[in-house]
Amino acid sequence: MRVLVAGRIGQIATELVARLAVAGHDVVALEPPELDITDAASIARAFAAHRPEALVNAAAYTAVDRAEEERDLAFAVNATGPGLLGAAAARAGIPVVHYSTDYVFDGMKGAPYTEDDAPNPAGVYGASKLAGERALHAANPRSTTLRTAWVCSPHGANFVKTMLRLAAEREELRVVADQHGAPSFADDLADAAVALLPRLAAAKAGDACFGVFHLTGAPHTTWHDFTQAILAGAAARGRRVPRLLPITTAEYPTRARRPADGRLDCSRTARVLGILAADWRISLDRCLDALVGPKETTR
Ligand SMILES: NC(=O)c1ccc[n+]([C@@H]2O[C@H](COP(=O)([O-])OP(=O)(O)OC[C@H]3O[C@@H](n4cnc5c(N)ncnc54)[C@H](OP(=O)(O)O)[C@@H]3O)[C@@H](O)[C@H]2O)c1
């Protein structure tokens, strides 16, 4: 299949390019200036040039704190963009895979969110992503949105890379222990799109494979416990690691409010799409192999 990926050097886009190619697809991944998803003319040019048979949108405005000050830009990329991409895909008669976030929820439920729970974003980023889901699905009913969380990979900026950097610089790390969620690795999220595309391409609007689905890694954890796993993995690869102390969200204020409990229930995705939440501890090992090197025992 000819697959157009919106976004090129982002975390998920990078993995999509590699994994779609391995699966035998003809992949074109584009970013500004070749493709600006906020510009209908730019999207039309990309569609005319590449005539895609499926579209995966991995482009987004992901600066959660900065979004509080750059509301217009966040909404342009995260809300207008998916709407324009959906409209172009609908005109071309092709399906769309899109990624969204647990930040569409306020984190107050006290249990993992299902796709039937009402969103209530606490900040601009979450609000813009929710508007994008709605704009995409209104424009193209043959769309599948995967809501995910805590995306990490060897590429780009993410929590694993930040913790490895801080671990090398500091004697002590203090990490929030009262926010719950699940790390999700970009390669696993790209694999989900690779698995989905043939089914979406063959399915008509209204098929159960279209709609919004939750997909994170498993099991659920906290930032603190995730950090513990990162540091253990770094130590197993010969790195000296600092002391780790749990702190509360109140002790680490950020500009945008984060959901205290953004756990997503991924059972519908397993049941309907046959895509299982990947064990993030295994994915983390792969990521650390790429970033730090193999474990000392396997050298
Ligand atoms: N990162 C997370 O923790 C997280 C959590 C939950 C959900 N998600 C969702 O997962 C998806 C992928 O996230 P990611 O972490 O891979 O993001 P990322 O690494 O920030 O990559 C996003 C890419 O989109 C590009 N982009 C920005 N504006 C664009 C535009 N107007 N047209 C075309 N491309 C544009 C960016 O380019 P520039 O760098 O040049 O701006 C960047 O390369 C997004 O939908 C995000 O909302 C992410």
pLDDT tens, residue by residue, 3-19:
999 999 999 999 999 99
Q: What is the DSSP letter of 206?
A: T
> For the whole model, what pTM was predicted?
0.97
CA of residue 257 relative to chain centroid, distance: 19
- 125 classed as catalytic: yes
So what's the pLDDT on residue 100?
98
- pLDDT, tens digit, 9 for 90 and up, residues 51-61: 999 999 999 99
Q: How far is the CA of 59 from the centre of ligand 1 (A)?
A: 4
What's the gap in Å between 235 CA and the centre of ligand 1? 30
The pLDDT value given to residue 298? 62
Looking at residue 204, its pLDDT comes to 97
- Taking only the tens place, the pLDDT of each residue in 244-270 is 999 999 888 788 888 889 999 999 999
pLDDT at 259: 86
Q: How many CB atoms lie within 10 A of CB 250?
A: 8
Q: Is the CB of 30 under 6 A from ligand 1?
A: no
C-alpha torsion 106→112→117→118, nearest 10: 0
Looking at this protein, which amino acid is placed at residue 141? P
Residue 125 Cβ < 6 Å to ligand 1: no
Written as one letter, the residue type at 172 is E
Low-confidence residues of the chain: pLDDT under 50: none
Q: Which of 99, 103, 113, 125 is catalytic?
A: 125
The per-residue pLDDT for 299 is 57
Predicted pLDDT at 257: 82
3-state secondary structure 57-126: ECCCCCCCCHHHCCHHHHHHHHHHHHHHHHHHHHHHCCCEEEEEEHHHCCCCCCCCECCCCCCCCCCHHH
Best substitution site from 45, 151, 188 to test ligand 1's pocket, by max atoms within 8 Å of Cβ?
Answer: 151
Ligand 1: residue of 62, 102, 184 to mutate (most ligand atoms within 8 A of CB) is 62
Size of the chain in residues: 299
Ligand 1 pocket, 39 CB below 6 A? no
Question: Residue ranges of the domains in the chain?
Answer: 2-157+183-219+263-280
Cis amide linkage into residue 33, ω under 30° from 0: yes
Q: Which two tokens stand for residue 120?
A: 């209530």
pLDDT value at position 254?
83
pLDDT of residue 255: 84
What is the reported pLDDT for 285? Answer: 98
Q: CA 73 to CA 93: how far, in whole Å?
A: 28
Closest CA to 257 of 67, 60, 11: 67
Superfamily of domain 2-157+183-219+263-280: NAD(P)-binding Rossmann-like Domain (3.40.50.720)
Q: Which of 11, 130, 161 to mutate to test the pocket of ligand 1 (most atoms within 8 A of CB)?
A: 11
